[in-house]
Each structure stands twice: as C-alpha cells, then as structure tokens.
Amino acid sequence: MRIATFNINNINKRIENLTAWLRKAQPDVVCLQELKAEQSAFPAARLAELGYRGVWFGERSWNGVAILARDCEPVLTRSSLPGDANDRQARYIEAAVNGVLITSIYLPNGNPQPGPKFDFKLAWFERLTAHAASLLEAGVPVILAGDYNVVPTPQDIYPTRSLDNNALIQPQSRAAYARLLAQGWTDALRKLKPEGPLWTFWDYERNRWALDKGMRLDHFLLSPDLAARLTDAGVDRWVRGEENASDHAPAWIELV
C-alpha cells in the first residue's frame, strides 16, 4: 500500500496539478492539507473520475484536510482533534482504510513568534500528542501523516540563519515533535533515508525552488506494528517544479 501526504495549498486552484500527479503516481491513499475550500466546494466528482473517494473537513479560505482512497471508501473516525471544544479550525481528520487508521494533519504554522499564534501551535501540538498516546494504547495500526509545520532537526533545512526566529525551527517546536516520537512512533522518511536533504517544501519567495533551498515539513509517523512493514519512501519532487505548483511536494511511503 502506497500512502502519500500532500499540502495542496488550495485544492480547486491546483486541481489540474493534483489530478496529473494522481494519474502518474497512483497512490492508494492520499492525505491532503490546506484545501482552502469550504465543505461544499470540495471537488469530489473530479477525484471520483480517477477512482478516489474521500472524507474531508473544509474551511472557507483557510486550512482544510482530507483523506482519499483509491477504489475504496475511507471510513471517517474523527474530524477534529480532541482537547479544545472552542477550536473550529479544519486541521485534523482521521479515517480507517484497509485496516489502518490514517490521519491528515495540518499543524498550525505558529508565526510570528513569540505571540498567541505560537502559543496556539504548541497547545495544538500537546493535544495531538495526547491523542496520539490514546491511539497507541488502543493497539491499532496508525499512520500520523501530514504537514506538521516543524523542521525536526537542522539536517531538515537548507543551511541558513535567515529563519532563526521562524516558528518552524524553534527549540519548543522541535521538542514537541521529539516528545511525540518518544511515545514509540517511527519517522518513516528518516528511517529509510537517514542522511542528506529530504525536502518537502520550498518557499515561493527568494527563488528557493530554483536554488533547492528547501525544508522537511511533511512527515509520516508510524505505530510500531506498521514500522516493521515499511519498505520504501520518497518525495515526488517533480510536482513542485510544475506550473501553478503548490509550495509543497507530495511525500510517500510504501507498506507491505
């Protein structure tokens, strides 16, 4: 089974990019983030033409997450992250696909920091960590996939000092990611590719794509039973180079 995660950065604006990639890559499951479309505007019919059915949680203009499955129906299990009844942002969705529980996560960016947006990011991360612990306790196979808006280590970003104040690389953000991993999750991309750049995001500004100044923001965390089934992983970099591209490229893993 091939599972992908892709911050599409406006699904309707980039529907041609998305469908072209789906035709070529043919992933079995796709976790999407930053739909930037309200619930009724999700292009379900276009995706169904390619054999993909899905569950999604939309939000007008911002956020939005979805899980697509090829030739089967994802079974929605949760469309919000527990722990804050006042949080209405469309950042978390969870579904069962072929016996695996899969999430699509769009963790808050947190900029500018310090400030309320960074505080919200860290609080959201704590809620995710608490929920992840409960999923492990349940003993089901789980993939926590999505755009975490965290660069886990200095290895995961091009050499620069220009982003020293960015929320993505703050010690608190990295510590939160490390605490989540410490529960027993496996960072799938780094397990198979422990050395070297593994970028999934290149900012539109300052010619960063052409200069290959990227960072790794999109992650798959696997429960212990699934980590043993991991056989391959990668990033479809070519997608970022297409006209009208998202600033992210799809990352993917394969399980036996």
CATH number, residue 90: 3.60.10.10
Q: What pLDDT, on a 0 to 100 scale, did the predictor assign at position 135?
A: 98
Predicted TM-score (pTM) of the model is: 0.98
Whole-number percent of the chain with pLDDT over 70:
100
> What backbone torsions phi and psi does residue 33 show, to the nearest 5 degrees?
-135, 165
Confidence class of residue 183 from pLDDT cuts 50, 70 and 90? Answer: very high
Structural domains counted in the chain: 1
Across 148-173, average pLDDT: 97
Residue range of the domain that includes 101? 2-255
Q: What pLDDT, on a 0 to 100 scale, did the predictor assign at position 63?
A: 98
Q: What pLDDT, on a 0 to 100 scale, did the predictor assign at position 165?
A: 97
Over residues 190-239, the pLDDT tens digits come to 999 999 999 999 999 999 999 999 999 999 999 999 999 999 999 999 99
Q: What pLDDT, on a 0 to 100 scale, did the predictor assign at position 110?
A: 98
Alpha carbon distances (Å) from 188 to 114, 120, 226:
31, 27, 10
